Chains A and B, each alone.
Chain A
Amino acid sequence: MSESPWEWLRRIQRRMEDEMERTMRMIKEAEMRTGCLMPLHHVMDTEDQYVITIDMPGADKEKIDLYADENRIIVEAPCRQDIPSARYGNRYRLMIELPTAIDTSNIKARYIQGVLEIRVSKKKTRGTKIKIE
């Protein structure tokens, strides 16, 4: 018997829900294994830079470690221990892989209202002009 459009939509919805559950479980497992909290983050891809924001309430600006290599950003910071929700981990850790190479000499970061904002310039690649025959 063929599937009705409603059943098909439900099946897609359930698959997305399963995927979400798998992701949530992976995050929890990683947090329990490492004792580190994986902070919420968002990457905005603009023409010449990536604007990354990471929600890290209870961190101390002076104690945030920020590393960058060819196309990765790694952030680590202790989280204040008196925050009850931080009981599963008292340290933030996040690694973000960016889709293109970055200019590690041109990265700016600021920490406001518990959010770390990182502006990362993309590495400029010079293309070659091709003559159309």
Chain B
Amino acid sequence: MKRVFEFVDNVTSTGKPLLLGFPDTGLAGSIAVSYMVEQLRPEEKGYVDSAELPPIVPVRRGYPKELIRIYESSNFLTILSELPIPPMLIRDFSEALVDWVVDKKLGWVGCLTGVAEPRRLEIDTPKVFILSSELKRAEELAKFLDAEVFQEGFITGVHAEILRQGLRRDVEVNILLAQAHLNYPDPGAAAQLLTRLPKLVNEHVDVKPLLESEENIRIQLRDLMRRTAEAMVQKSREMELPPVYR
């Protein structure tokens, strides 16, 4: 049977971690991964295809691009999505992703994302929380990355399904959640995720330019945030839960 999502790539290396940046709470993961790609310039190694994706072609510096792209650098692989995965297709996408991770024998999956913090306005430096398929691993990472273990609550959306599929397939999944605005692009939260990269995948990204252009990014990403907020509402309607309930 033809799958809804197909990975088209020429990734050959094994053992590397895979970092994911999908539009979600405060677009923290999307901003972090797109900025990381911009700064580190990993090689584009493929894309994720589906007939269900909308007819949109992003253009970057004059180059037409795929909506969901796969990159590889010497230390890690990353997948960057320009659009939120449609809520109805999250399960299909997550299954296909975990199959691909197993097939490519990747080391582990790291989801970079945000967790809605109602009092975000009062917070200068957002905290980062860790949720892993194994509590022991979460505790290790939290200590190592100066973060806290995500103790109680619900995770919804694409990262929740990837975690679930990872648990079932014995694939290590670690979710890094930075406190973020729920409905507004949050480059400050993305910067907190990026500051954990040196210890996480041995790569350094200077977040100063990101924070300096914060206002510009927030205006630029209004449309993506609107689409993402709508997708999050659809998902939470299905579950009768707020998008992130803590």
Interface of A toward B, CB cutoff 8 Å: 9-10, 13, 16-17, 20, 23-24, 27, 37, 39-40, 42, 53, 55, 57-58, 79-80, 83-86, 112-115, 117
Separation of A17 and B225 alpha carbons in the complex (Å): 15
Give the distance to chain A from B49, nearest Cβ to Cβ, in Å. 18
Mark contacts of B79-93 with chain A using CB atoms, 8 A cut-off: 1 yes-contact digit, 0 otherwise: 000000011100000
Do A42 and B183 form a contact, CB below 8 Å, given A20-B227, A20-B230? yes
Residues of B close to A58: CB separation below 8 A: 215, 219
Give the distance to chain B from A39, nearest Cβ to Cβ, in Å. 8
**CB within 8 A of A80: which of B88, B188, B215?**
B215
Question: Which residue of the partner chain B has the closest CB to A111?
Answer: B121
Residue B169 CB within 8 A of the other chain = no
Do A9 and B88 form a contact, CB below 8 Å, given A42-B182, A58-B219? yes
Residues of B close to A86: CB separation below 8 A: 219
Asked if residues B121 and A85 are in contact (CB atoms below 8 Å), the reply is no
**CB within 8 A of B234: which of A16, A24, A113, A115?**
A16
Question: Size range of the interface on B?
Answer: 20 to 34
Asked if residues A115 and B216 are in contact (CB atoms below 8 Å), the reply is no
Asked if residues A83 and B121 are in contact (CB atoms below 8 Å), the reply is no
Residue B64 CB within 8 A of the other chain = no
Give the distance to chain A from B43, nearest Cβ to Cβ, in Å. 28
Mark contacts of B161-203 with chain A using CB atoms, 8 A cut-off: 1 yes-contact digit, 0 otherwise: 0000000000000000000011111001000000000000000
A-B contact count (CB 8 A): 65
Asked if residues A57 and B88 are in contact (CB atoms below 8 Å), the reply is no
Asked if residues B227 and A24 are in contact (CB atoms below 8 Å), the reply is yes
Separation of A57 and B217 alpha carbons in the complex (Å): 9
Give the distance to chain B from A70, nearest Cβ to Cβ, in Å. 26
Residues of B close to A23: CB separation below 8 A: 226
Within 8 A of A (CB), among B35-63: 54
Give the distance to chain B from A90, nearest Cβ to Cβ, in Å. 11
**CB within 8 A of A85: which of B216, B225, B230?**
B216
Give the distance to chain B from A40, nearest Cβ to Cβ, in Å. 5
21 contacts between A and B (CB under 8 A): A13-B86, A16-B230, A17-B54, A20-B226, A20-B230, A23-B226, A27-B226, A37-B219, A39-B222, A42-B182, A53-B183, A53-B184, A55-B181, A55-B222, A57-B215, A83-B215, A83-B219, A85-B220, A113-B121, A114-B218, A115-B181
Give the distance to chain A from B90, nearest Cβ to Cβ, in Å. 12
Give the distance to chain A from B137, nearest Cβ to Cβ, in Å. 34
Do A24 and B121 form a contact, CB below 8 Å, given A10-B88, A13-B88, A115-B184? no
Residue B152 CB within 8 A of the other chain = no
Question: Which residue of the partner chain B has the closest CB to A55?
Answer: B184
Seed contacts A13-B87, A20-B226, A40-B222; 10 additional CB < 8 Å A-B pairs: A16-B230, A39-B222, A42-B182, A53-B184, A55-B185, A85-B216, A86-B219, A112-B122, A114-B215, A114-B218
Asked if residues A40 and B184 are in contact (CB atoms below 8 Å), the reply is yes
Separation of A17 and B55 alpha carbons in the complex (Å): 12
Separation of A79 and B234 alpha carbons in the complex (Å): 32
Interface centre among A79, A83, A113, A117, by most chain B C-beta atoms within 10 angstroms, is A113
Residue B223 CB within 8 A of the other chain = yes
Question: Which residue of the partner chain A has the closest CB to B215?
Answer: A57
Residues of A close to B54: CB separation below 8 A: 17
Mark contacts of B107-142 with chain A using CB atoms, 8 A cut-off: 1 yes-contact digit, 0 otherwise: 000000000000001100000000000000000000
